[in-house]
Amino acid sequence: MAAALAVYAAGLMMLDISPTRVWHGLGQLGTIAGLMLPPSAGGHFLLYLDALGQTLSIAFLGTMLAAGVALPFGFLAARNVVANRMVHVLARRSLDTVRSIDVLVWALIWINVVGLGPFAGVLAIASSDCGSLAKLMSEAIETADRKPVEGVLASGGGRLMTIRFGLVPQVLPIFASQLLYFFESNTRSATIIGIVGAGGIGLHLYEQMRVLEWQEVAFLILMVLATVAAIDVVSRRLRLAIIGRRGA
Amino acid sequence: MHGFTMLPQSQLRPLLDAYAHAVATRRRIVLAGAVLVLAAAALSAVGAEVRPHVFWANLGNFGSYFDRLTQLDTGARVWADPVSWYWGLRRWSVQLGQTLLIAYVGTVTGAALGLAGGVLASRNVTPFRALRFAAVRVLEFARTVPDLVFALVFVVAFGLGPLAGVLAITLHTAGTLGKLFAEVIENIDMKPVEGVQATGGAWLSQIRFGVLPQVLSNFASYGLLRFEVNVRGAAVIGFVGAGGIGQELIVAIRRFYYSDVSAMLLMLLVCVMAIDLASERLRSRLLAGDHGA
């Protein structure tokens, strides 16, 4: 406890954080907050709406693409599907590596490959998510009930059939609800990656901040917040419906 | 015959029909869902300007990008000459340390704020209804706005440098942890709290002696988990000028200093993985101690 506090104090010193600086900055922040009122689109509402649609498209397509890539990897990394230890460990490690690279770094890499624009954003979200999705999927598969698999085996089913009829029906609802959850969080990520030039509403947000148009910045932030809140509500409903169907 | 008797056709028929009907209905629902998802995917493919031909044409770039990442300016492979690969080791280490400090200070401050917010936002221990509503809304706001957006605003208000990064992480952490903390507090056993109340303890002592002992190990575990996330966050927050190794990394990426990029990415990866491992150990110890008590 004492050590933790000592590191904290040292951190404050080394990062050059002093009460006066914080106080001064808070004053500035107050001024900025004042300038943000009232939020206004500055006549670019349709442009921003289009960008918001683009952001949603990036999030949706990125999630779907990640799911497509993650599904086979998830099965490969699951202990009860692939018995080979080498494959299992290798799959896990490479997934961990992919997961540790942030979506912004992926965006910068993909911009080099496919150029500036939303397509790079889609690929960035897909790459950064397929690691975590595959990991979650493999965990869901590992915790699945063995009995249906044994049942399929007992009635003469082959290896692929045990996966199709024994495992898939158990894990599909879990996958679907996880995908919805990722879509939610990707809407937020998709906002950010625009800042490095990968399309969507983040690009406008960054530009308006650069030219200190605070009213439009506030408007854009509100647009994002409203969208995220709406998606939260819809996806919570959908998730409940999906999980509920499994219970029935 | 086979040791079991078949139902007569007249009774079997309706059962089979009912089964076929049930399967057909389910198939229709799944099919409709699939069509809907595909339609949405097609629509967003147009929205996101997906260009498969560009992707295929430039996919080679992706491979060669990684190839260039492992090449020094002289054309030699990076692992053949680690000394010139890590020419900036001292500088990068200092910046990586700064990133870790930003994450640490931000997490601790955010957790403290999140604790206060969580107590106020939990249904069972909040002192006033109105205060609870306000706390929930504030936490929601802090959680929903991405930390990078906070960082962008704070860089303008507080100037370039780590302070903006720390504050951005603090705010975002307070939002996420505050919600989790509130959920934990809402699930506690209320008897100790009532006990403190019965012996005449004020609200603050009820929290201190009734609530905190029950939730502390859980909170510590959540805090550690958040620290892992924040290390990653602190690394990229430098992209907008809020201190740490991100500032150096984005310059290297933008100016195509390939070997520098790979050197810094590798340092970051190793660091993140080490922290993940250490915190996983610590967390399992924390939770195990909790069950033992």
Query: Could you list the residue range(s) of the whole structural domain that residue B191 is in?
Result: 94-292
Selecting from B41, B157, B273 the residue whose C-beta is nearest the C-beta of A100 gives B273
On whether residue B211 sits in a domain, the answer given is: yes
Question: Scanning the structure block, which residue is given the tokens 């057909």?
Answer: B24
Q: Is B181 on the interface with A (CB under 8 A)?
A: no
Our CA dihedral for B26, B30, B36, B40, rounded to 10 degrees, sits at 160
On whether residue B26 sits in a domain, the answer given is: no
Q: Is A168 on the interface with B (CB under 8 A)?
A: no
In this structure, is the dihedral angle defined by the CA atoms of residues A141, A144, A148 and A151, taken in order, positive or negative? positive
On whether residue B177 sits in a domain, the answer given is: yes
Instruction: Please compute the mean of the pLDDT values over residues B187-215 and round it to a whole number.
Output: 87
**pLDDT of amino acid B192:** 87
Q: Find the closest chain A residue to B161 by CA distance.
A: A15
Contacts of B161 (CB under 8 A, 6+ apart): A16, B241, B242, B243
Buried b (16+ CB within 10 A) or exposed e, A100-137: bbbbbbbbbbbbbbbeebbbbbbbbbbbbbbbbbbbbb
**pLDDT of amino acid B175:** 92
In a mutational test of the A interface, the residue from B64, B137, B153 whose CB has the highest number of chain A CBs within 10 Å is: B153
Kindly tell me if the per-residue pLDDT of B61 is higher than 80: no
Residues of B in contact with A57 (CB under 8 A): 43-48
**pLDDT of amino acid A244:** 64
Q: Find the closest chain A residue to B105 by CA distance.
A: A8
> How much is the mean pLDDT over chain B?
85
Nearest Cα to B265, choosing from B251, B281, B246, B280? B246
Kindly tell me if the per-residue pLDDT of A248 is higher than 50: no
Domain boundaries, chain A: 52-247
Residues of A in contact with B268 (CB under 8 A): 100
Q: pLDDT per residue over B10-59, tens digit each?
A: 888 888 899 899 888 888 888 888 888 888 888 888 777 777 777 777 77
Q: Is B104 on the interface with A (CB under 8 A)?
A: yes
Kindly state the percentage of chain B with pLDDT values over 70. Answer: 97
Give first-to-last CA distance, chain A, whole Å: 49
> How much is the mean pLDDT over chain A?
82
Please answer yes or no on whether B162 and A17 come within 8 Å at the CB atom.
Answer: yes
Please answer yes or no on whether A119 and B40 come within 8 Å at the CB atom.
Answer: no
- Residue B274 to chain A, least CA–CA distance (Å): 11
Q: Which two tokens stand for residue B194?
A: 């009532």
Q: pLDDT per residue over B242-288, tens digit each?
A: 888 888 888 888 888 888 888 888 888 888 888 888 888 888 887 77
Distance, in Å, from the CA atom of A74 to the CA atom of A93, rounded to the nearest integer, reads 12
Instruction: Please compute the mean of the pLDDT values over residues B177-202 and round it to a whole number.
Output: 88
Distance, in Å, from the CA atom of A194 to the CA atom of B108, rounded to the nearest integer, reads 29
- Please count the structural domains in chain B: 1
Q: For residue B141, give the CATH number of its domain.
A: 1.10.3720.10
Q: Are A231 and A189 in contact (CB under 8 A)?
A: no
Q: pLDDT per residue over A161-217, tens digit each?
A: 888 888 888 888 888 888 888 888 888 888 888 888 877 888 888 888 888 888 888
Q: Is B216 on the interface with A (CB under 8 A)?
A: no
DSSP chain A: -HHHHHHHHHHHHHTT--HHHHHHHHHHHHHHHHHHPSP--TT-HHHHHHHHHHHHHHHHHHHHHHHHHHHHHHHHH-TTT---HHHHHHHHHHHHHHHHS-HHHHHHHHHHHH-SSHHHHHHHHHHHHHHHHHHHHHHHHHTS-HHHHHHHHHTT--HHHIIIIIIHHHHHHHHHHHHHHHHHHHHHHHHHHGGGTSSSHHHHHHHHHHTT-HHHHHHHHHHHHHHHHHHHHHHHHHHHHHHHHHH-
Beta bridge partners of B176: none
CATH number of A52-247: 1.10.3720.10
Q: pLDDT per residue over B210-242, tens digit each?
A: 888 888 888 888 888 889 889 888 988 888 888
Distance, in Å, from the CA atom of B266 to the CA atom of B273, rounded to the nearest integer, reads 11
Q: Is B252 on the interface with A (CB under 8 A)?
A: no
Q: Find the closest chain B residue to A19 by CA distance.
A: B163
Task: List the Cα angle A143/B274/B91 in 5-degree steps.
Answer: 150
Task: List the Cα angle A101/A106/A109 in 5-degree steps.
Answer: 130
Q: Is B251 on the interface with A (CB under 8 A)?
A: no
pLDDT-based confidence at residue A82 (cuts at 50, 70, 90): low
On whether residue B48 sits in a domain, the answer given is: no
Q: Is A243 on the interface with B (CB under 8 A)?
A: no
On whether residue B220 sits in a domain, the answer given is: yes
